Structure 1
Amino acid sequence: MRYPDIPTAPRIALRRARVPLCLIESVPSTATWEQDAEGAALVDILIDQGRLAALSPSGQPGDPARDGGFVDVDLAGRQVWPMFLDCHAHLDKTQILPRASNPDGSFSGAREGSMADRLRHWSRADIEKRMDFALRCAAHHGVAAIRTHLDSHAEQAETTWEVFQDLREKWRGRITLQAVALAGADIYATPFGERLLDLVGEAGGIVGAFLRLPDGETRMPDDIDESLDQLFERAARRGLDVDLHVDETGNAASRMLERIARSALRTGFPGRIVCGHCCSLALQDARQVQETLELCAAAHVGIITLPTANLYLQDRRTGATPRWRGVTLVREMLAAGLTVAVGGDNVRDPFFPYGDHDMLDTLRQAVRILHLDHPIADAPRLSGPNAARLMGGLDLGSLRPGSAARLILFNARSLNEMMSRPQSDRLVLDRGRISAAPLPDYAELDALIPGRSASAPKENAP
C-alpha cells in the first residue's frame, strides 16, 4: 500500500487517519468517535502553519476545513501517532559495543565492560560523536524527546555534562533532551557529590542514583534510609527532581523501591520521583507487592519499565535458560494508579547489544514481553502521554489542538499491523513537513574503534 503524496502546504487536512484514542488529549465526550476493537477511531487532523488546528471524527457534518484552504490528503485508515518519547536512555554508552565486550552477557560483565571502556576511551570527541549518531538514529525513527542518564563519576562528569549541554543546544527544536546524573546514592554526601549537585543544577538536570541489593545478599544496608533521606533533602534544597535506577536484579530481597517511597513520604519531597527497572518486585510475595505499590501511589512515584535490557540481563546463567522475563509488574502498577512508561534504555553497549533508538521497536517488544494486549487499547500511552508526564509534563506524546503537529504516519491500518512489522517505511511529518533525516551509517563510527580503518562516509546533516 503506497502512501499518498503529502504536499508542502501551510494548511493540510489529513483525512481518515486512524488514531488510538488514548493518544488524543481530552477526547470530547460529545463527539461521536466510532472506536474499533483496538480503541482507535478514524480522525480528520487539520494542520495549520505547523500546528494542530483541529481533531474531529472523520466525516463529521459542518467540517470547517472544507472552505478554509486546506489541502486534503486521504490516509485511507492508516495509523497516525504523535512522535515518540524515550524517557530512559544511556546516550553516553551508546554504540560502544564493537570495542567493549560483555564476555558472558551478565549484569556484572556489562558493568565491567562499560567501566573499562569509559576509562580508556570517553574523551569529549568520542562521547559527542556517539551521542550525535544516536540522536540522528532517533530522529529518523520519529523520537521527539529523550531523557538520558549520564555516568557521573568524579573523573568523567564535567566532560560528559559539557557534551550533553552542547548537543542539547544543537538539537533544540528537533529533539528535547534531558539528563540525569547516574552515581552511587552515597556519593551525594561527599564533597564531590556537592559539586555534582551544583553541576546538575547549573545544567537544568535531574538527580539520579543506582540502588540495588546485589544477588546473594539478603539484608538491606543499615544506612540505606539515611542515604535516601539525604539524597531527597539535597535535591529538594536545589529544586531538582529525582530519577533512580532501582532493584535491577533478580534478588527478591532487594526492596529499594519500598524504601524510596517511604523516604519520599518521610522527607516530604516536593519534586517528581521516577524509578526505573524495579525488576525484583516481580519476585516478591503478594503482600509485599501490594504494600510497595500503595506506598508508591502515596508518594507519587512514577515507574519506567525497560523490557529489552531487563529481558536480556536478568536471570542469565551460564548454560541455562532463563526462568523469568526480568521485567517489573506493569499491569499491577497501572491498576494501582501509578504512571508507567516504557523506555529504550541501552543501545549497542554491554548492557544491551542491540537496538537503534527506535521507540516503536521498544513498544512492540513491550507489548509481547509484558502482555500489554488483551486489551491493547492503552498500550500506546506508555511511549507517549505517560512518558511525557514522567518527563515533567512535556507538550509531546499526544495530539492536542494548538500544539505543534509532530506526527508519524504508518503504513498500517490497525495496531495488530503496527505490531507485526517494523514499520521501517514510516513517514515523520514534523510540523507539516516530511522529515528527510536519514539513518546514519555505522561506518561513521569506525574511527572510534581501535584497529578498524576509518573509511566513514560523509555525515548526513540531522
Structure 2
Amino acid sequence: MNDLSMFPRLAARLARAERIRLTKARVPVALLCDGMPVDAEMDRDGSALVNILIEDGRVGAITPAVADSSDDAVALDGRHVWPLLVDAHAHLDKGHTLGRAPDSGGTHPGARSATTADRLAHWTADDLVRRMEFGLATADAHGVAAIRTHLDSHEGQAEITWNVFAEARERWKGHILLQAAGLVPLDAYRGDYGARLADIVAGHGGLLGGVTRASGGTHASGLDDIDLLLDRLFALAKERELDVDLHVDEAAQADTLPHVARAAIRHGYEGRVTCGHCCSLALLKEEELRDRIALIADAGVSIITLPTVNMYLQDRQGGRTPRWRGVTPVQEMRAASIPVAVAGDNCRDPFFAYGDHDMLDTWRQSVRILHLDHPYADATALAGPAPAGILGIDTGRIGVGRPADLMILEAWSLDQVVARPHSDRVILRRGLYANRALPSYSMLGDFQLA
C-alpha cells in the first residue's frame, strides 16, 4: 500500500517534517515556474513527472522523477500535484445569504433587487464578519491561496464593509492573500460620493471599481454619459494610484467594453485594468469580435470569465431552456495574448444559488463549459498563473524557492482531475499537512431556512 492511500500516516509525516521529497509527482508544465525540467518525462496532457524537494516550508528543488526509497520520501506514483489556486473575482460580502434574501428567480434583475433588500436589512458588521469568515474558511479547506473580492460600496455601507474586510485580511494574513475592489453602479461617480469612495478604497489599499450600468438599471442601457463617467473614475484612480477592476457587459446585448478600453488608453492605464464578465462579446459577429479583441489587447485590459455564474443568470426565462451559455470568448482572447483567468464569482447568494469557494471545482467546470480540452494544453494556467499575474502576486505556480503551498490529487491524468470533485485532496501549506474540515452550515443556521 502506498503512502498517499494512508491518510493518517501521511498527515502525521507532513505535519512535522522539515524536509520531505514528493517523488514521481505529476505537475502540469503550465503550473511550473521554469517549465519542464531537462530530461523530465512529459505525458500527453502536458504534465511533467518530477520529484519535488521541500525544505523548511519551501520548494528546494524540482528534478526529473526517479525512484527514491529514502526515509524522507513520499511516493506519489504519478499522482497530480498542483499549487494552491487563485480566485481573482469573488463577492465575499454577498455570500451565503441564500435562504434569507428574497428569492431572485435566478435572473440578473431579480438578483440585484434581492441583494439590495438583504443589504439594507441585514449587512451589519457582525453579519458581514460571520458570512465572510464562513466563506474564507471554506476557501481555505479547498486550498485557495488568494482571493480578490468585490465589495458593495454604496453610500452608507462602504465604511462598514471595508472595515470588516480589513480586519479579515489581517486575520487571514499569511494564509489566504486578500485583495478588494469597490463595487458601485458607474453613475455613483457623478457626484461627490465618487471621491469619498475613492478615498475609502485608497485608505484600505484596494482597487477602484464599479459596474458599467446605471443605478437600478441594466447593462444594456442608462449610461449616455459613460465616457464622462469613465473619465471621472480613471481620474480618481490616477490621483490615488489605484488600479481598476470593473464588471462589464453582463448581458446578451451591451457594448461598454470598448469605452473602457479606450478610457484605459486615454488615461495611460494600459495593463492596470481588469474587466469581469464581458458576456455580450460571445454574440458578436466574427469580424466585430476580432475588432473588439484587438482593442482590448491594445489597451492591455485583463479579462476575468465567470462561467458558472453567467450560465446560471444569462438567458433565463421561465419555462424556456436557455439558448446560449453567457460566457466570454476565452479561446479567442487567449490567442490574442490577452491575460484571461477563470474565477468563482458569487457563492450561495441571489446572483448564484450554488458554489463552495472551490477554485479547483471552478476550473473543472470551466474546462467543460469553455471547451478547454482536446488538448488541454495550458488550460491549467487559468486558475493559477493567469489570475496570479492579473492580481500581481507571486503564487499559483510551483517553483524553486517558493512556498510549498500544494495540493495532491488522487488523479493520474487531467481527464481524471476534471472527472471528480476531489474531496480527498491533500493540502500542504508551507510544506505541512493543512487539511481542514469544511465549516458547517450550522454556522449560518438562523437564516438558512428563513
Cα distance in 2 for residues equivalent to 1:375 and 1:449: 42
Which of 24, 28, 33 is equivalent to 1:20? 28
Corresponding position: 1:447 with 2:446: yes
- Look up the SS of the partner of 1:447 in the other structure: coil
Task: Supply the RMSD in Å over aligned alpha carbons.
Answer: 1.9
Query: TM-score, length-normalised on structure 1?
Result: 0.92
2:58–2:430 Cα contact (<8 Å) kept: yes
2:187–2:213 Cα contact (<8 Å) kept: no
1:310–1:326 Cα contact (<8 Å) kept: yes
Corresponding position: 1:116 with 2:117: yes
State the partner residue of 1:88.
89
Shift of 1:74: 0.6
Cα distance in 2 for residues equivalent to 1:106 and 1:266: 35
Q: Which ranges in structure 2 are unaligned for 5 or more consecutive residues?
A: none
State the partner residue of 1:401.
400
Cα distance in 2 for residues equivalent to 1:439 and 1:449: 17
State the partner residue of 1:238.
240
State the partner residue of 1:51.
58
State the partner residue of 1:283.
283
Cα displacement string for residues 173-201 of structure 1 (whole angstroms, at most 9, x for unaligned residues):
11000001001223224221111101100
In structure 2, do the counterparts of structure 1 residues 284 and 266 end up closer, same or farther at CA, with 3 Å as the change threshold? same
2:278–2:328 Cα contact (<8 Å) kept: yes
Q: Percent identity of the aligned residues?
A: 50
Cα distance in 1 for residues equivalent to 2:107 and 2:167: 33
Cα distance in 2 for residues equivalent to 1:322 and 1:212: 23
Cα distance in 2 for residues equivalent to 1:203 and 1:259: 28
1:84–1:359 Cα contact (<8 Å) kept: yes
Cα distance in 2 for residues equivalent to 1:323 and 1:215: 20
State the partner residue of 1:11.
19
Corresponding position: 1:224 with 2:231: no
Shift of 1:263: 1.1
Amino acid at match of 2:297: A
- Look up the SS of the partner of 2:208 in the other structure: strand
Query: TM-score, length-normalised on structure 2?
Result: 0.94
Cα distance in 2 for residues equivalent to 1:103 and 1:197: 30
Cα displacement string for residues 72-99 of structure 1 (whole angstroms, at most 9, x for unaligned residues):
1110111000001100000001000011
Cα displacement string for residues 374-405 of structure 1 (whole angstroms, at most 9, x for unaligned residues):
1113111011000100111x111001111111
1:126–1:448 Cα contact (<8 Å) kept: no
In structure 2, do the counterparts of structure 1 residues 343 and 52 end up closer, same or farther at CA, with 3 Å as the change threshold? same
In structure 2, do the counterparts of structure 1 residues 440 and 74 end up closer, same or farther at CA, with 3 Å as the change threshold? same
State the partner residue of 1:42.
49
Q: Which ranges in structure 1 are unaligned for 5 or more consecutive residues?
A: 452-462
In structure 2, do the counterparts of structure 1 residues 50 and 224 end up closer, same or farther at CA, with 3 Å as the change threshold? same
Cα distance in 2 for residues equivalent to 1:286 and 1:98: 42
Shift of 1:447: 3.1
In structure 2, do the counterparts of structure 1 residues 444 and 222 end up closer, same or farther at CA, with 3 Å as the change threshold? closer
1:13–1:47 Cα contact (<8 Å) kept: yes
Cα distance in 1 for residues equivalent to 2:272 and 2:429: 29
1:344–1:359 Cα contact (<8 Å) kept: yes
Shift of 1:318: 1.3
2:270–2:299 Cα contact (<8 Å) kept: no
Cα distance in 2 for residues equivalent to 1:355 and 1:135: 13
Shift of 1:301: 0.5
Cα distance in 1 for residues equivalent to 2:5 and 2:23: 13
Cα displacement string for residues 146-165 of structure 1 (whole angstroms, at most 9, x for unaligned residues):
00000000011000000000
In structure 2, do the counterparts of structure 1 residues 45 and 147 end up closer, same or farther at CA, with 3 Å as the change threshold? same
State the partner residue of 1:353.
353
Shift of 1:270: 5.6
